[in-house]
Each structure stands twice: as C-alpha cells, then as structure tokens.
Amino acid sequence: MTEHSGQALVLIVDDEPVNVLLLTQGLRDDYRTRTATDGPSAITIARGADPPNLILLDVMMPGIDGYEVCRQLKSDAATRSIPVIFITSAMDEEAELRGLTAGAVDYIAKPINLRITRARIRSHLRQKQAQDRLAKLSEEDPLTGIANRRRFEDVLAREWRRNLREQEPLTLLMADVDLFKQFNDRYGHCAGDACLKRVAASLALVARRPGDLIARYGGEEFVALLADSTPEGALQAAETMRRSIRELAIPHDASPHGLVTISCGVATLVPAAHTLPANIIAAADHKLYAAKAAGRDAVAV
Amino acid sequence: MARRTRTFSNSFEREKATRVLAAPLPARRHDERGVRPEPAVVGDDCSGLDLPGALERLGGNAALLADLQRRFAAEHADSAREIEAFVAAYCPARAVAALHRVKGAARIVGALALAEAAESAEDAIAHGRPPSLDTFRVELRCALAQIENATFDRAPS
C-alpha cells in the first residue's frame, strides 16, 4: 500500500477506451487507478516512483502483447512482486496457461463482471500485503528493527559480486558493544534489550546514505556495509559511530569507561576471483578484536 | 439477413432495464436550428442489446452502463470503415486488433450480435479467410442505432 494514500494503486493496461472506462469507474470507490494503453508505458509506470500494488493487464495490445509485458515485469526485481491479473477475451486453455506461465496470478474473462473482478482484486491485494509483511519480517531484526543477518548476507553477496565485476573496494564495519554480558548481569535483560535498541538506532543514523546497510549480526554485534566508501571515509564513519554511542551516555557501572561503548573493526577489500564474502567478515572481525585488545571504545583499521 | 429475436432468460425485464437506464442521461442535444433530431432507425433485422446481462455484470450500475454506451458510440462509430480499410490495405494484424477491440467493447455494452460478428470476422482473417464484413457492418450500425435510441428515449421531454 502506498504511504501517501490509504488506497492501493491499480494499474489498468488496455488499449480499448470502453474497457478502461469500465475499470476506472468500477474501481474508483475502492482504489486509486492509473491507466496505460500499451506495454512499454505500463512497464515505465510499474518501475516508477509510485509503483502499482496490482496490474490489470490486457493480452492483445499494439506493440508488445500482455504476455511479454508480464514476462518483463516478472524478470525485473523491482516489479517482480507486483501481482498481475490478465483481463482478456482469449479464454481458451492454451491462452490461460500461457498467461499463468508468464507469471500472472489470475485470469479474468471479458466481458468482466465488476463484482467478481473487485473481489478478486481484493483477494490478491490481501495476499500481496501478507507476502510483503512476511518478506519484511524475514529480513528485519525483531528487537532493533534494523536489517537482520539474513538480509545482511544477501546484500553482502550481491555487493561482493558487483564489486568483483567492477573491481571496486568494499568496506565492512563490525561493531560490538563492550562488556555487554556484564551490562546484562548488572542491569538485567530488559535493560540490555533497551540498550541494544538505542545502539542500533544510533548506528543507523550514521550509515544512512543510499546503498549503506546497517544490520544486527547477532547478540550485541552489528555490521555496516558502506557503499562507495574510501578507507578514510570508512574510518571517519567508524569513529562517528563510536562517538555516537558514547554520547548516548548509557550508564555501565561494570565498564572502566562508566558508559556503554562500542569497539569497531574496519576492513576494506577489493573482491578477487579466489576470495569470498566471508573473507571481508573475517577481516573486519580480526580488526574488531584488535580494537578490543587496545582497551575497547576504539576503532581499528 | 434473417431477423433474430433475443429472449432474456432471467426475470429481469427489458422494459425495466430501459427505465433504470433512462434516469442518469442528459438530454440529447438539439441541432443548430433548435430542432431535436429524429432517433436513428433500428431495422427489423437488428438484434436487441442485452441490457439486463450488461447491467448484471456492472452490479446494476445503470449510470455506468450509460457512460459505457456513450463511450462505445464515440469510439466505434467509424470502426467498420477503419477495419475495411485495413483489410483493403492488406493489414490483417491491424484489422484483427481493431475487430478484437470492438468485440470486447461490444460485449461490455451488451451488443452480443455485434461481438459475434466481430469474432467471426476476426477468426476468418486470423485463419487467412476473407472476412464477412457485411454482417459486422450491419451489426455495428444496429448497435450504434440502439444505443442512440436508448439515449434519445432517456432524454427529458
């Protein structure tokens, strides 16, 4: 569902004005609608800033047909999850099979029955919302709300491949809350959870450029993938993170600093054919231990 | 062409459908001399529009059906000529596409005989046979005349 309106956006793709009028008028009480009269325009709208929540797609159109439009939408990560319903008068078994194989979720025969069409749209939108919720949950750390380890590993693998291809350096920061076990022992697990939430929120404020990713790696460990970062920029980001946690001023009696602090290891690598994403994790982890060994509340590069 | 009669299988009567449809339409425009034009003549060989079926599919929304009929008339008044031109110019793909559009739109407004004629011509062209565009032309004229008459009937006196 789009943020600027409570109503889902339905994209109607049809070159026949009577069909377009029928669907726009028939759906206007429940949904926002946009229309396209050919495949390329539909794909442009679907990839745009306000993508539709569902697409009603005619099969027979000038230029590229509905099957091809559907295939293109399904082969693009940005539009893959948008449910497509074919609306067509070609209702033989072969045509229906072709539509479903192209990735459509449903097939509605013309002349359409408005009530049935509305019910099907509602049903597919509900299903889509449930899938979106699940997808979000599967990538989000439930305690802190930032990305979880699964999401981090997916993004790292993708960025690793991209930087291998482009021979660009990739930077990973690994941060660990100092003496966190002692914090939990002293203040209890509820306070420990609250502390982790504040630390995560603070780190997320630093790694917020487009392409940056901050994730909870596990326990009190966090990782940050920094997009297009130089070694100097990475060091600066790590220092900013370290300072921002000190500035939270969360009391920690069991720490020699008297406050909650983090240690941070920074690794920068240019991916090579014989290396793996695990190499940069190991390198950042190694630097993190160096920061711990240097007395904690420190950054090691 | 033999006259065809259309019967409605459900309890929805045609007169009732026409009355429902009458309400939301604006008066038909008078010409420059202030004379209201005569309604188009519907020939004996015209099949009726399946208004009950069309209305049922629209959830009983008569105003929407009237809008759709108006749009149909505006979009497809010249479709027969256009399709004949495509056929004459050996553009079968464009002729099929145009017939396909008329077929879909005709079904929506309840012009089932026109939809059948369009489908038959579409099928003929798609299979490399000469299409029977005479039937299509007649059915299109009938559908447009019936829509126009319905609009005329609904105008306040």
Q: Give tens-digit pLDDT for A193-217.
A: 999 999 999 999 998 888 899 999 9
- Distance of residue A18 Cα from the nearest chain B Cα, in angstroms: 6
CB-CB contact of A174 with A213 (8 Å): no
* B interface with A, Cβ–Cβ below 8 Å: 54, 56-59, 61, 64, 67-68, 71-72, 75, 97, 100-101, 103-105, 107-109
| pLDDT surpassing 70 at residue B89 | yes
Listed by number, the residues of chain A in 61-80 with a beta carbon closer than 8 Å to a beta carbon of chain B are 62
- Distance of residue B77 Cα from the nearest chain A Cα, in angstroms: 13
Nearest beta carbon to residue B104 from set A89, A113, A114: A89
* Cis check: omega of the bond before A111, within 30 degrees of 0: yes
pLDDT of residue A219: 96
Q: At what angle do helices A17-27 and B92-109 cross, to 10 degrees?
A: 40
Look at B108 and A114 and tell me if their CB atoms are within 8 Å: no
| pLDDT surpassing 80 at residue B152 | no
Query: How far is it, in rounded angstroms, from Cα A182 to Cα A202?
Result: 21
Nearest beta carbon to residue A21 from set B67, B97, B100: B67
Higher pLDDT pick, A88 / A129: A129
A9-13 and A54-58 strand pairing: parallel
Look at A26 and B61 and tell me if their CB atoms are within 8 Å: yes
Its pTM stands at: 0.71
pLDDT of residue A150: 96
Q: pLDDT, tens digit, for every residue of A127-145?
A: 999 998 998 899 999 999 9
| pLDDT surpassing 60 at residue A78 | yes
For residue A21, which residues of chain B lie inside 8 Å, CB to CB? 67-68, 71
Q: Which residue of B has its CA nearest to A115?
A: B59
Q: If you count DSSP H runs as helices and E runs as strands, how many of each does chain A have, helices first?
A: 10, 10
pLDDT of residue B76: 96
Query: Can you tell me the mean pLDDT for A161-172?
Result: 93
Q: pLDDT, tens digit, for every residue of A240-276?
A: 999 999 999 999 999 999 999 999 999 999 999 999 9
pLDDT of residue A46: 97
Q: Which of A22, A37, A87, A116 to mutate to test the interface with B (most CBs of B within 10 A)?
A: A22
- At a CB cut-off of 8 Å and minimum separation 6, what does A148 contact? A139, A140, A141, A215, A216
Structure tokens at A131: 């899938």
* CB atoms inside a 10 Å sphere around CB B82: 15
Look at A19 and B105 and tell me if their CB atoms are within 8 Å: yes
pLDDT of residue B45: 58
| pLDDT surpassing 70 at residue B31 | no
For residue B98, which residues of chain A lie inside 8 Å, CB to CB? none
- Distance of residue B3 Cα from the nearest chain A Cα, in angstroms: 25
pLDDT of residue A180: 97
Please check whether residue A117 touches B, CB under 8 A.
no
Look at A62 and B104 and tell me if their CB atoms are within 8 Å: no
| pLDDT surpassing 70 at residue B28 | no
Higher pLDDT pick, B154 / A237: A237
| pLDDT surpassing 80 at residue A1 | no
Look at A21 and B71 and tell me if their CB atoms are within 8 Å: yes
Query: Is the ipTM of this structure higher than 0.85?
Result: no
Look at A114 and B61 and tell me if their CB atoms are within 8 Å: yes
pLDDT of residue A5: 60
| pLDDT surpassing 60 at residue B4 | no
CB-CB contact of A153 with A270 (8 Å): no
CB-CB contact of A192 with A180 (8 Å): yes
Q: If you count DSSP H runs as helices and E runs as strands, how many of each does chain B have, helices first?
A: 7, 0
For residue B58, which residues of chain A lie inside 8 Å, CB to CB? 22, 26, 114
Region class of A145: left (phi > 0), else alpha (psi between -120 and 50), else beta:
left
Structure tokens at B122: 């579409």
- Distance of residue B36 Cα from the nearest chain A Cα, in angstroms: 27
Query: What percentage of residues in chain A have a pLDDT greater than 70?
Result: 98
Q: Which of B49, B57, B61, B120 to mutate to test the interface with A (most CBs of A within 10 A)?
A: B57
Q: Which of B49, B50, B58 to mutate to test the interface with A (most CBs of A within 10 A)?
A: B58
Q: What is the DSSP string of B98-157?
A: HHHHHHHHHHHHT-HHHHHHHHHHHHHHHTTPPP-HHHHHHHHHHHHHHHHHHHHHHS--
Confidence of residue B3 (pLDDT cuts 50, 70, 90): very low
| pLDDT surpassing 90 at residue A58 | yes
